[in-house]
Structure 1
């Protein structure tokens, strides 16, 4: 009986880890594009908050989850456009602009939510798990991998597509060259600014999608600060994954495991550790991961540096 309970615990943990990793997967893969082009966007937290709010607002108004996801992506991209204008066109410091947008995202979403939605007390219908015949009923595997909603499953497609675009297309080759040798790209007659704009739009669009998942696929309501630092963790995931979309997918799953573990341990009566310690687990692991890999990464050589076009 104890063995069966343990296997059930592991299956539930694996399934929850993938769900909780989903916003990190979207945001970190998007940030891989941005950093590969030499743009460090630390404003992911604010971007994800904007995506979460826009997704919730659209789904609240229309009852459509697909439209909510689209609104989350558009909201993230609009926020990213502001970042791109200041950092690429005006060559402002990327760290300063990103930090400012984090503050703007937190304040703006909190203000709009309190103004228009906090008094309603209403939630929305979230994406439901898809039942896959036969597979969903498999012991252990069915619970862990075949009872998720379509947004969770789409993370696999996003990771594969991102890897293909970055490493198998001319666009991806040039994008990576922009982060390593922007002068060579400029001399070849291609616009460094245009590729960096494209990278930021892809990155913030995916970050907005990750934020929208929190309100459309995880919770049925927007809450102030719903991202809970996931944007910052996504930045750590990119470094830990060595700027690889596939690596970002698997490292995000690892952090999702820590999120799920702390939640499940809090529900165990036999665990006497203070819940605050358990809540800090994902963030503590972020710090440990960054310390362990310090100096071992292969960051794009022009990451965070503006480029003066000829």
Structure 2
């Protein structure tokens, strides 16, 4: 039982950021904009959030500090996503090239700023955000052990974002317009929908969630930030594709890849005794990614107009 509990709690640390970032990519791609820049948005968001924690955590309640840092990370990711939106929507640039350029720029920018401010590229912080036990809920048999002990407030935030994403996409007028702009933007335009505005909204929401995901990835797994999120932005794209651009499917895919990353950590008691080389576990999530994409890409349910620049005067 203890091994299962440990495995579940560790999986949540990898699952939640993957889920949030993949949902961010979902909003962008459902609007018709391919967002390869998720990795860069994660880095910028994590950098802004960790920088705030570094300077203010000693003078604030840990949970309040983390919530403010999450908001700052989201806003930083949104601002960074604005560059991708301008290039992709206004300038009609190749969206893959734009995203790749931002991914290259993000770590260099964060390292430059960190060295400029504190003469070192690593931004250190203390992890004081773990919740040992949620009052009352943590005493519930089994459920309390799994969900409300040794956890982070970010776990509950991730589930909330999942539910809200589903509601927004499938139960609101905005969600319907967003999906229509990713499928048939010319038809949406003829119906009076401002395709440019909707695509801007999808891209900026994507940046907001990616920024949050970057911070949420760093906080439970490290005590310093070095402008690196271990390729999680690209792994989130794989989760998005595996989840067929649908929120609940994405959640299942994110949990699967989160489990694979937990296995890759090789910290599981029952695996430590097998004497299998550590590098085998580290490549496991990426091999799983290739296998999964090989079997699912043929049945892709990607929005039909994703990656295609919209020209209002063209029919």
* Whole-angstrom CA distance in 1 between matches of 2:191 and 2:123: 56
Residue number among 20, 23, 37 corresponding to 2:17 in the alignment:
23
Structure 2, unpaired ranges of 5+? 58-64
Deviations 1:139-181 (A, max 9, x none): 6543332222111111111111100100011100010000011
Correspondence for 1:153 among 156, 173, 184: 156
Instruction: Choose the corresponding residue for 2:44, options 50, 67, 71.
Output: 50
Equivalent residue, structure 2, for 1:308: 311
Q: Which of the residues 49, 55, 62 maps onto 2:56?
A: 62
| Paired position in structure 1 for 2:90 | 89
Partner Cα separation in structure 1 for residue 234 and residue 176 of structure 2:
27
* 2:31 alignment counterpart: 37
User: Structure 2 residue aligned with 1:275, among 265, 275, 278?
Assistant: 278
The count of aligned residue pairs is 303
Mean Cα displacement is larger for which, 126-135 or 237-246? 126-135
TM normalised by structure 2 equals 0.90
Shift of 1:299: 0.9
1:10, CA displacement in angstroms?
Answer: 1.3
- Structure 1 residues 275, 139: CA separation in 2 closer, same or farther (over 3 Å shift)? farther
Whether 2:12 is the aligned partner of 1:9: answer no
Alignment of 1:91-106 (within 5 A): 91-106=92-107
- Residue 60 of structure 2 aligns with which residue? none
SS in structure 2 opposite 1:61?
Answer: helix
- C-alpha spacing 1:277/1:120, structure 2 compared with 1 (3 Å): closer
Alignment root-mean-square deviation, CA: 1.9
Deviation of 1:196 (Å): 0.2
The 8 Å contact of residues 122 and 225 in structure 2, kept in 1 or not, is answered as no
CA contact under 8 A between 1:83 and 1:97: conserved in structure 2? yes
Alignment-derived partner of residue 3 in structure 1: none
Q: Which sections of structure 1, spanning at least 5 residues, go unmatched?
A: 1-6
Pick one of 235, 239, 244 that aligns with 2:237: 235
